Structure 1
Amino acid sequence: MRRLSLAVVAATTSLILGTTTTTASAAEWRQVSNQSFHLLTALQRSQGVTTDGQYWYFSWQFGLSKVTLDGESTLTSKTLAIPAEFLAQGDNHIGDIDYYQSRLYVPIEDGSAYQHGHVAVFDAATLEYTGISYDLPQSVQRDGVPWVAVDPARGYFYSSEYNATALNAYSLTDGQLVKQIPLSQPMPKVQGAKIYQGQLYASSNGPTKSVLRIDPDSGSVSDVLDSGLSEDTETEGLVFLSRPDGSAMHVLDVAPNRISVNFRHYGPS
């Protein structure tokens, strides 16, 4: 939870210590179901989400967790996942993560000055840091690294600034910036993004709490979901996985009470 995550941390720290582009419509998706997580579970699922098709992987400000697809059981949790060398630089925030080839791609930033942006690679089975990381240039990630999305078909991983006017495409091979893709319209308060059917879908914590679709080749932006959530709700990461209930897009949001998290499941309208 970008910029509001400390509120959830404060509310639950005592528990830890004690224990082909188409014309778009904002009605392209409908909510099928919702799961709510509370207190410590909410904290550990409050930032980003990805999947390998067998498990969910969640991120929160400092950590990572691996969870069964029914959301009932946390199989592995790493409370402090930020590597020591990044902590020493003042890094204190993990954003929306992604999965690729048995690894998690994890964006890490110093959530105040935004001087040090990284994408660190973790082993998905153990949630341990592999020692591989990529420093992202502050010249194009001026307010941190809020999310990362892997695009194997194009050979990139993407990120952007929080208030985005361009996509930044980095080489999957060496993490070097390859190009910037200007957007057809600004995307406010981008909290997470994933590639789905060749397009990039991004969750925005802007006024409409929307999900936007971006063509990574042209930069064309269209609105595919206006969630109707309240102003005090904070939209977080999202992920795609087809489920028997007809849902395929799954979006996290932090409830106004700041101690519960919703995992909303959407299907095509």
Structure 2
Amino acid sequence: MRTHALLARLALATLTGLALPAIADTWSAAGVSRYEVFSGAMTGLYRTQGVAVSGNEWVFSWQYGLERTDLALNSLQRTGGIDPATLSITTGIPAALAAQGFDHIGDIDVYNGILYASLDSEAGDYQNGHVALFNANDLTYTGKVYQLNGAPSNPHNDVASWVAVDGANGLGYGKEWQNGNTINVYNLADWSFNGTLTLDRSLKNIQGAKVFDGALYLSAHDATKSVYKVDLASGHVDELFQLPITANAYNETEGIALRRREDGSVEMLVEMIVTPNGNDLGAYVDLHHYVTAVPEPTQAALLLAGLGLVGGIARRRSGSRAAATE
């Protein structure tokens, strides 16, 4: 009894005074999956706008539709398509949405089986930002679509390049494509404007975003082709790394997605469209894979495990002594 009480007090005192170091994001390049856009199977075309995780699948977006794949990036389903012979496009945007002038899908997100797709009108110079809801398991349209109104300083101008979902807090996020130091915050239930999150630095040309472990990860088509992490509590921005750039080519960063793997590590996928020497027909998509290391037990976890072991030994010894005195 005395030993157990002493160990409990020791654990409490130690954990109370223990200052755990912050764990920095350390990402390692883990390969590139390359797909041609306008040759062969044209697989790259369907992976040119956004990407999200849906259970054990990836979901991609292209300007006129969506695609589901397995985790090995094998295609399972596509909406819309292109005729290889004529390069004519059949839109996968539902007729009810196309009739409203929507002709561009941006980066997407998935939460609770619902796929949230950012929509805008390229023909209208991106002044018609909305988000449409699809069923992630079969890409069918739910019939729900909501207008995205940004901050009063910029309510409509190119505010729907992407949407990101923070399901745990019932919020959605977006940002104007132009340079600015705010993130638009929406109510997830109806995507009504909730306010803005002020960042501690300006960011521009954000093409994709995801909420993961309470932080917002952003992929930028800026001068450095950077991936950023935003603290949603403080607005602090960290640059995590810069994507490799192909020389003598036009490089355009697109969507981003993160998933936790079975071993506890995290995989990040970032899309990059590469057009060599300005030759559109030679364009391809690089899907850059990044991973974090498998997490090691924290100092606190090791301490608790050690105290538990000591406690177990103490209990066994106490039991042995009690048996010896009976």
Q: Is TM more than 0.5 here? A: yes
Question: Which has the higher relative contact order, 1 or 2, with Cα contacts under 8 A spaced 6 or more apart?
Answer: 1
Following TM superposition, by how much is the alpha carbon of 1:53 offset from its aligned partner in structure 2, in angstroms?
Answer: 2.9
Tell me the distance in 2 between the aligned counterparts of 1:44 and 1:244.
27
Aligned sequence identity (%): 36
Q: Distance in 2 between matches of 1:265 and 1:86?
A: 33
Letter matched to residue 130 of structure 1: T
In structure 2, the partner of 1:261 is 285
Q: Helix, strand or coil: the match of 1:95?
A: strand
Q: Is the Cα–Cα contact under 8 Å of residues 150 and 157 in structure 1 kept in the other structure?
A: yes
Query: Once the 2 structures are TM-superposed, how far is the Cα of residue 189 of structure 1 from its aligned partner?
Result: 0.7
Select the structure that is richer in helix.
Answer: 2
Q: Which amino acid aligns with 1:110?
A: S
Counterpart of 1:254, as a letter, is: I
Equivalent position SS for 1:126: coil
1:126 partnered with 2:138 = yes
1:29 corresponds to which of 12, 27, 30: 27
Q: Where do 1:90-239 residues align within 5 Å?
A: 90-111=101-122, 112-137=124-149, 139-163=154-178, 164-230=180-246, 232-239=250-257
- For residue 140 of structure 1, give the secondary structure of its aligned residue in structure 2: coil
Range with greater deviation from structure 2 (95-104 or 158-167): 158-167
Secondary structure, counterpart of 1:43 in structure 2: helix
Candidates 47, 50, 72, aligned match of 1:48:
50
Larger displacement relative to structure 2 (235-244 or 145-154): 235-244
The unaligned stretches of length 5 or more in structure 1 are 1-20
Query: Quick one: distance in 2 between partners of 1:264 and 1:235?
Result: 10
Higher alpha-carbon Rg: 2
CA distance, structure 1, for counterparts of residue 236 and residue 67 of structure 2: 34
Give the structure-1-normalised TM-score.
0.85
- Report 1:62-73 matches (<5 A): 62-72=64-74
Give 1:22 shift: 5.9
Q: How far off is 1:244 after superposition?
A: 6.8
Distance apart, 1:217 and its partner CA: 2.4
TM-fit CA distance, 1:249: 1.0
Structure 1 22/188 Cα, relative in aligned 2: closer, same or farther at 3 Å? farther
Partner of 2:76: 75
**Residue 10 of structure 1 corresponds to which residue in structure 2?**
none
Equivalent of 1:89, from 91, 100, 111?
100
Could you say which residue in structure 1 is the equivalent of 2:322?
Answer: none
1:69-92 C-alpha deviation (Å, 9 max, x unpaired): 1012x1111113323343233221
Calculate the TM-score normalised by the size of structure 2.
0.70
CA root-mean-square deviation? 2.3
**How many positions carry a matched residue from both structures?**
247
Measured after TM superposition, the shift of residue 29 of structure 1 is 1.7
Long gaps (5+) in structure 2: 1-20, 81-90, 294-326
- Provide Cα deviations, 1:25-44, integer angstroms capped at 9, x if missing partner: 8xx32211111112321001
In the TM superposition, what is the alpha-carbon distance from 1:116 to its structure 2 partner?
1.2
